[in-house]
Structure 1
């Protein structure tokens, strides 16, 4: 009887899980297991680029790729994991309830921005999902039709982490492209931290400060947003900032589907997994990408919620879930090399290596690397069977 691996999600981790499982079956000439991917769309949404313009272009179709490697795609939104029955309850493309059984499950449903409960939170924008990033882009373009005011020309970014910095440093140029090259624009970053760029560590922090000064960014440190209204925000200290544009980037949390699987979780809701990415305490369920709390090495480092780690986690999860069905030894997940490349708008970029983020390249040199990452490295392989399967080898190092 044909068995089934069910992978939920078509993000970086889900896509690479599917390709890697297909690769291992191909290596061992195994044809007795079906690989099924369940997701709302057969496309990879290039989430790391949602801070840029032309967001509607930042998708990559997966239909032909899945067809090339023999993966079945099912269009639908997962709602409930029935662990005892080994099945997923979902809504199909028409919104009707449906079921998919599995022999092995790979949860790869990613994460979402963590919006707090505060007055007016429904007014804020974010770049977490493509629909929200497009909504923000349309809003920025519409500012030119509004009467000139301090609020119209001001953008507040809530959160001074990686995403917040990339959004903020891009924003002066985006605003001036709409409001005019000589427009008096303000971009204000509100961050609960005590050091500018401190979320990225001591080494990149001076570069972020330099870029902020050159681009005219303002920072409100040791600060949080208390409320949002039609004319602006109040900070917790009582400061009033007039703005028509508030972008929320502060914090993410693992997909709520992870909460349905019994097991230990970290502070972000990620499931603790073993070295092979199997959920601890579950025989038939693997977690990968942003829903997995996975050790990258033996030094106490754990995967970040980033595409860099999701790609490698996906390759490992797919390989190991397939191995569990054909009596092949798994390959333990390991990703000791860690880099970051943060876009700093018109200033350039900063490329770092290691968990202590030693700076290696800056400004234009780093910007070229960032451009290659964003336009080439993180995209799916060609829809050619041999090329796609070769690219899914879990031993391939990921630097993105």
Structure 2
């Protein structure tokens, strides 16, 4: 009888989970007929979410079909709408309204996360986001459409809500992107708004002076210690009463885990992530593992937890896939660990800052860090070649090699 591992999601964690399970299956000489691995997602693609702030977001997609074929991974198209843990099944709904029920022996929840949209009046109607591919494409279409509008301060002004990692990458990318659309001599105004006292509050004090200097060099204004209180079709109003006329508001105010986590009846953190056991199993659900942005996982002995990021999702996925397969094959599961923590923050056309450690010690900045960021964005985070040996080497490295 075939045993089934079902993986919900084909993002960084879902892809690596599938490869991790496939690698162990192959290593133990188990055939795909004995242990089937199935990925469920809307398309057989990896959306390169860390690059959605860049130009041409529609190109930030990497196909996975050939990789899945090379590693004997099945693909089922659709969205999982129901997880029935008592029956060990998931219900998958397709775009045409059809549905299918898939049984599982082990389930890996790698459904990722969505942008958090607070109930700010007008935000849903007039704001833009870029946490999903469709959102990024819509924003890009809007930006190009500004060239058809009459020149005005509102047309030439972009407000970015949120001065965290994503907000900073948008704010430093937008001036050059808009000048390409509206003309190099256009007076572009970009304003970064955040309730925090400082930009990049989660990164700590060491990289802050460099980030602030880059914002000044690019002409990016900041409004700190204040939030956006409302939006309308002509602009935004801040909590202190300041009015900013703008045609473009980009919201980057944080992420929340897939709502599928709520179906597991497990304890979740304030971001909606399941608080998992060391091997990424869902407490009280021995057949289910959560990984990537759906899991709150302790990453080191110091008590740090994995952040919602591509860097973490890849390794989390590799562990989850290995452990789900190991559990079915009578092998010991492995506790997830990732003590090394690095960030590489893009800061415009010719600069970035690379930090190491939870206290964000700056190691590289400026053009050298920008070259590293380009390599990360265009090489390191992309899927491995559609070759069994290369894929298995990639997933093993993700699980065992620190940055």
TM-score, normalised on structure 2?
A: 0.97
Counterpart-to-counterpart distance in 2, 1:199 and 1:242: 29
* Structure 2 SS opposite 1:346: coil
Counterpart-to-counterpart distance in 2, 1:117 and 1:90: 30
Partner of 1:176: 179
Contact kept, 8 Å, 2:85 with 2:285, in 1: the verdict is no
Note if 1:72 corresponds to 2:84. Answer: no
Note if 1:94 corresponds to 2:100. Answer: no
Partner of 1:15: 15
Partner of 1:272: 275
* Structure 1 SS opposite 2:136: helix
Partner of 2:400: 396
Partner of 1:53: 55
How many residues in Structure 1 have an aligned counterpart in Structure 2? 399
* Structure 2 SS opposite 1:37: strand
Partner of 2:203: 200
Matches within 5 A, 1:225-240: 225-240=228-243
Task: Give the gaps of 5 or more residues in structure 1.
Answer: none
Partner of 2:246: 243
Partner of 1:123: 126
Task: Say which of 30, 34, 37 aligns to 2:36.
Answer: 34
Counterpart-to-counterpart distance in 1, 2:200 and 2:326: 42
How much does 1:189 deviate? 0.5
Task: Give the gaps of 5 or more residues in structure 2.
Answer: none
* Structure 2 SS opposite 1:392: helix
Q: Alpha-carbon deviations, 1:288-311, whole Å to 9, x = none?
A: 000000011000100000000000
Contact kept, 8 Å, 1:165 with 1:344, in 2: the verdict is yes
How much does 1:95 deviate? 2.1
How much does 1:49 deviate? 0.1
Give the RMSD, CA atoms, in angstroms: 1.0
Note if 1:253 corresponds to 2:278. Answer: no
Counterpart-to-counterpart distance in 2, 1:49 and 1:197: 18
Counterpart-to-counterpart distance in 1, 2:354 and 2:160: 23
How much does 1:195 deviate? 1.4
Contact kept, 8 Å, 1:160 with 1:199, in 2: the verdict is no
Which stretch shows the higher mean deviation, 365-374 or 118-127?
Answer: 118-127
How much does 1:396 deviate? 2.9
TM-score, normalised on structure 1?
A: 0.98
How much does 1:347 deviate? 4.8
Q: Alpha-carbon deviations, 1:108-138, whole Å to 9, x = none?
A: 0000110011221121111111111011111
Counterpart-to-counterpart distance in 2, 1:81 and 1:116: 27
Runs of at least 4 residues off by over 4 Å: none
Note if 1:340 corresponds to 2:343. Answer: yes
Contact kept, 8 Å, 1:14 with 1:109, in 2: the verdict is yes
Task: Say which of 361, 366, 370 aligns to 1:358.
Answer: 361
Counterpart-to-counterpart distance in 2, 1:199 and 1:182: 35
Contact kept, 8 Å, 1:270 with 1:292, in 2: the verdict is yes
Contact kept, 8 Å, 1:197 with 1:209, in 2: the verdict is no
Q: Alpha-carbon deviations, 1:45-68, whole Å to 9, x = none?
A: 000000000111111000000011
Alpha carbons of structure 1 residues 219 and 49: separation in structure 2 relative to 1, 3 Å? same
* Structure 1 SS opposite 2:377: helix
Counterpart-to-counterpart distance in 2, 1:263 and 1:151: 46
Counterpart-to-counterpart distance in 1, 2:216 and 2:90: 51
Partner of 2:115: 113
* Structure 1 SS opposite 2:159: strand
Note if 1:303 corresponds to 2:341. Answer: no
Partner of 2:333: 330
